Structure 1
Amino acid sequence: MQYFTLMRKQYGLTPDEEHYTCLIDLLGRNGRLEEAWHLVEGMEENHLIWAALLGACQLYENVEIGKKVAEKLTEKEIQISTASIALSNVYAAAGMWNEVYRVRESWRKKGHADGEPGLSRICTQPH
């Protein structure tokens, strides 16, 4: 945070999306989710910044902030599938299995789960 502040105040540099994404990721990895939330709360929606915070919510099983972040993403129709999956993972990490089911069913009912689950294929090419 000290360097981020210096960047703006002492050197007159305006942080861009990559700076904020790194900062949010660092705060999130250190469990400073409230601080990260307050930084991004008023920002323009950027799926990378929000995804970094959502990932930290999963890591620290912070359902409260995880729900807020997922709502922001789906509200603006940004990465709805990613937000739904990540939110269900936040619930799973916290052991809230009924909420996992509810989020995934809601996602499916809205038609966001059209594809097949991940498939893998080995192709051989004749020599």
Structure 2
Amino acid sequence: MAAFELCQQLHCCSLKAGFSSYRSVQNTLISAYSKCGNMDLAYLVFKDMGYLKTTVSWNAIINGYGINGEGETALALYHEMRKGMEDADSATYLSILNACSHAGLINDGLMIFNKMVEDDKIRPSQEHYGCIIDLLARAGCLTDASGFLSQLKIGPNAWRALLSGCALHGNVELAEFVAKKVFEMEPRESDHIVLLSNVYASVGRFKDAETLRLGMQKKAVIKNAGVSLLCKYDSG
């Protein structure tokens, strides 16, 4: 709430100072309101930009709807952007693929990824590949995700996304294989152990889950703590 109020105050200051028509200020406000969870104000700023909109502006609003769980709206804006002949860049595709992943829009996500590679000739980054793995894994297409991932030379984050999908859908055999892969890449990290333990617990293999966690303690592997961001705002 404090961050949102501060965002509104900065918006008002930009209006009074005559900076509100500056493209960089408007793009920043779209991102700021989005991160505060207020997409109504984010879209209002975006709409008021008119002809000043650039790819950065479209990216900000698409990403905003995506991170706030409104994948369908993000997808509609992406198509509106392309119809308006605005060029999509790597960040555009990362935002829309992430939105499709969290909204379960598997067919749309795959078509957009193919368009990025085939039509726009944009070379996928590890983050783009990670979104596709996450998209497939969340939808339960674990075999497809595993087959796709096995063809790539990619870091542990995409494998973690697949492992999360295994946990979500209770695929123990694949989870064990993926956890081993992650362990080979990052033997001191604990995420894969916790996820595999959760998979065991989800199918009633509580003894195996306990054994894994005890093994963490013996090897002095520390579970990564969750992090929350709190903003303190002093009106005085």
Same fold (TM over 0.5): yes
Which residues in structure 2 correspond to 1:78-89 (within 5 Å)? Answer: 80-89=189-198
Task: Specify which structure has the higher proportion of helix.
Answer: 2
Greater Cα radius of gyration, structure 1 or 2: 2
Aligned to 1:98: 207
1:47/1:78 contact within 8 Å kept: no
Deviation at 1:100, TM superposition (A): 0.4
**Deviation (angstroms), 1:79:** 5.9
Distance 1:18 1:110 in 2: 31
Aligned to 1:21: 130
**8 Å contact 2:133–2:145 — kept in the other structure?**
yes
Could you say which residue in structure 1 is the equivalent of 2:166?
Answer: 57
Q: Which has the higher contact order (CA 8 A, sep 6+)?
A: 1
How far the C-alpha of 1:92 sits from its partner, in A, is 1.0
Question: 4+ runs of 1 displaced by more than 3 Å?
Answer: none
State the percentage of identical aligned residues: 35
> Under a length normalisation based on structure 1, what TM-score does the superposition of the two structures give?
0.80
Tell me the equivalent position of 2:183.
Answer: 74
Q: Deviations over 1:39-75 (max 9, x none)?
A: 1123334232122111111110011111111101111
**Residues in 2 aligned to 1:80 and 1:64: alpha-carbon distance in whole angstroms:** 21
Match of 1:26, as an amino acid? L
Where 2:197 maps in the other structure, the secondary structure is helix
- CA distance change for structure 1 residues 47 and 78 in 2, over 3 Å: closer, same or farther? farther
1:9 aligns with 2:9: no
In structure 2, which of residues 221, 224, 229 is the aligned counterpart of residue 112 of structure 1?
A: 221
- Tell me the alpha carbon deviations over residues 20-48 of structure 1, each in whole angstroms, 9 at most, x when there is no partner: 12111111111000111111123334232
The aligned counterpart of 2:106 is none
Q: What CA deviation, in whole Å up to 9, does each residue of 1:80-113 have, x standing for no partner?
A: 3111111101111121112102211222222214
